[in-house]
Chains A and B, each alone.
Chain A
Amino acid sequence: MKIAVCVKQVPDATVHKRIDPATKRLDRSGEATLNPTDLNAVEEALRIKEAQGGEVVLVSLGPAKATDSLRKALAMGADRAVLVSDDAAAGSDLLGTCRVLAAALEREAADLVLFGQASSDGDGAVLWAAVADRLRQPMISQVASLTVDAGSITGKRQTEHGYDVISAPLPAVIGVSDAINEPRYPSLKGIMGAKSKPQESLSLADLGVEPGAAGEAGSETTVLELGSPPSRGDQIKIEDDGSAAQKILDLVLERRLL
């Protein structure tokens, strides 16, 4: 079974994320990391591979330095990585991104494509549905538990009214929930071995994607103006030194919340 996992490099949680007012794009210059919920998708792929054999391929669209983040998933156990990196793809919205990823995934022809729950910078939680439509494959999103048997896949997921169990034949596209598993930590051996695993870098031309189909030119949405959301007012900050509980109680009593 060949499993492709779509993963993205995002700004590290410690970085104050900002949109560059000049380009109206996310400032990606700071410390970066692999999108946290994508680790759940990588973990799920590894478990399927461990049970059934096969290959786990990472597929990503991002700047050249995203290779650093991909290495973490290779250290967890993924076999190889494909990074699509091209100046003409920078600033892609959902549409541009789904065109590029669909092209890269078509080239891999995986049996199963996994996505993480949401990217921490875009927070759309929508990309799988767009990619599945391009690939003309069945799709199940928000999957909190997954079973794979010969030729088909079954996922359980939460909705506003309860739980759905949905089944689809392979090849299929799955978006996982962050509740699906607990991602493993890379072992020392994994970390050492990651450096020598194949990491391929592709341009749009390599994939046969027209430059106008991605990046700003290939995007159908625009960012017009940046502003500040209304603030909730002053915040009280407490660092626990053993007295936090008392401080919380004092504040609760002072505000007559009890």
Chain B
Amino acid sequence: MRVLVFLEHHEGQLEKGGLGVLAKAATFGNAAGVVLGPGASDLAARAGAFGAVKAYACDDDALAVPLPQPRVDALAALVEKTGADAVLFAASVLAADVAAGLAARLDAGLNWDLTDLALVDGELIGKRPALGDTVLVDVGWKGSPRIGLVRSGAFDPVETGGSAEVESFDFAAENFSALATLIEQTQEESSGPSIEDAEIIVAGGRGLGSPEAFSLLEELAAALGGAVAATRAVVDAGWYPYSTQVGQTGKNVSPKLYIACGISGAIQHKVGMQGSGTIIAINKDPNAPIFDFCDISVVGDLHQIVPKLTELVRSNRA
């Protein structure tokens, strides 16, 4: 199985997600890394230390900004050149769009949200938790190339210390691929109050109803000696800082206690907090998906429960 692994990079570093997928792909034999964008060749050489026998690099200026469509053009050309059997991606905002665009371009199958991959009798099989992680599905591909999008954090990078032969390649960009342009990019401060080290996290979602309601969570967190975290929905709405976001696009946390207040429990949130010791969910909707994976489910109004809990914790600790 000749596997290409898309290696995303940021500020001169290969991202962990792609390197994790590379480590997995290397166990199937012949794994090659793919690095796109200016500076690609130097970064590609580093893929060898993480299990790639070969690394393809393209530093075309059309790939300077992290937009998906020119990357589809580049990967389609590379698949044609190499005859790759599979192209694997670690989930990210960028990678998901590239993977889906590539599937459409090559009339290829895409399986997403993979949590494991195996080679069974020479055929690639993926494990995919589906329907809010209530079933675990074995998925396959009918033809080549097999395109797979791996769930965040499914595989850890493994330093093998090897080296990769770097090969440069070119591609011809489609006209429509260059139409979307990046006009501004803001790097958000990811420091700030550290939720990654907190032993107790009180997290809030859209169920809070307003940015002001976060003060309820801050009081509870202060009483518990914990930190406050948030979902993407409220971060995007400007209710709470980006640095506190938990999930696929945000941070990965594993406190001993995670109290989710007014959070529905989308998979993209779950992947960032499922490693928590005890998960308590407070939600007024008894059908909320979060109740499928928490340890203590509390059906009720957070506006009633949270202030009471804060009072009780305070008097218990006094």
Q: Which residues of A contact B (CB under 8 A)?
A: 13-14, 17-19, 26, 93-95, 98, 121, 123-134, 136-142, 144, 154, 157-169, 172, 177-179, 219-229, 232-233, 235-240, 242, 244-249, 251-253, 255, 257-258
Q: By the criterion CB–CB under 8 Å, are B242 and A240 in contact? A: no
Main secondary structure of the interface of B (DSSP, over half): mixed
Residues of chain B contacted by A237 (CB below 8 angstroms):
297, 299
| Least CB separation from B17: chain A residue | A160
Interface members, chain B 148-193 (any A CB < 8 Å): 149, 174-177, 179-188, 190
In the assembled complex, the Cα of A242 lies from the Cα of B300 at a distance in Å of: 9
CA of A166 to CA of B257, assembled, Å: 38
Asked whether B96 lies within 8 Å of A129 as measured between CB atoms, the reply is: yes
Query: Whole-angstrom distance from the CB of A235 to the nearest CB of chain B?
Result: 6
Task: Given the known inter-chain contacts A19-B135, A219-B109, please indicate yes or no for A95 contacting B103, CB distance below 8 A.
Answer: yes
Using CB atoms, name the residue of chain B closest to A241.
B300
Instruction: Give the contact stretch, choosing among B37-45, B80-88, B306-314.
Output: B306-314
Query: B33 at the A/B interface (Cβ < 8 Å)?
Result: no
23 sample A-B contacts, Cβ–Cβ < 8 Å, listed by A number: A17-B134, A18-B135, A19-B131, A94-B109, A95-B107, A125-B268, A132-B69, A133-B101, A161-B188, A162-B185, A163-B186, A163-B242, A220-B142, A221-B109, A226-B138, A232-B295, A236-B296, A245-B305, A245-B306, A246-B312, A249-B309, A251-B280, A258-B313
Q: Answer whether residue B301 sits at the interface, using C-beta atoms and an 8 A cutoff.
A: yes
Q: What 0/1 pattern do residues 240 to 265 of B give for CB contact below 8 A with A?
A: 00100000010000001100000000
What is the bound-complex CA distance between A98 and B137, given in angstroms?
Answer: 22
* Given known A-B contacts A130-B101, A219-B142, A220-B142, A167 and B278 have beta carbons under 8 A apart: no
A129→B92 CA distance, assembly (Å): 13
Contacts A163-B188, A222-B140, A248-B280; A136 near B93 (Cβ below 8 A) = no
Size class of the contact patch on chain B: 35 or more
Please report the number of residue pairs spanning A and B whose Cβ atoms sit closer than 8 angstroms.
271
Q: Is the CB of A251 within 8 A of B296?
A: yes
Residues of A within 8 A of B96 (CB): 125-126, 129, 141
Closest to B301 in A: A240
The chain B residues found within 8 Å of chain A, CB to CB, are 10, 66-69, 72, 92-94, 96-101, 103-105, 107-113, 125, 129-143, 149, 174-177, 179-188, 190, 200, 224, 232-237, 242, 249, 256-257, 267-268, 277-278, 280, 282, 285, 287, 291, 293-301, 304-306, 308-309, 311-313, 316-317
Q: Is the CB of A158 within 8 A of B293?
A: no
- Contact, CB under 8 Å: B104 / A95: yes
Asked if A168 and B125 sit within 8 Å, CB to CB, the answer is no
Known: A139-B101, A162-B187, A257-B278. 8 other contacts (CB 8 A): A95-B107, A138-B176, A163-B242, A179-B237, A221-B111, A229-B135, A249-B316, A257-B257
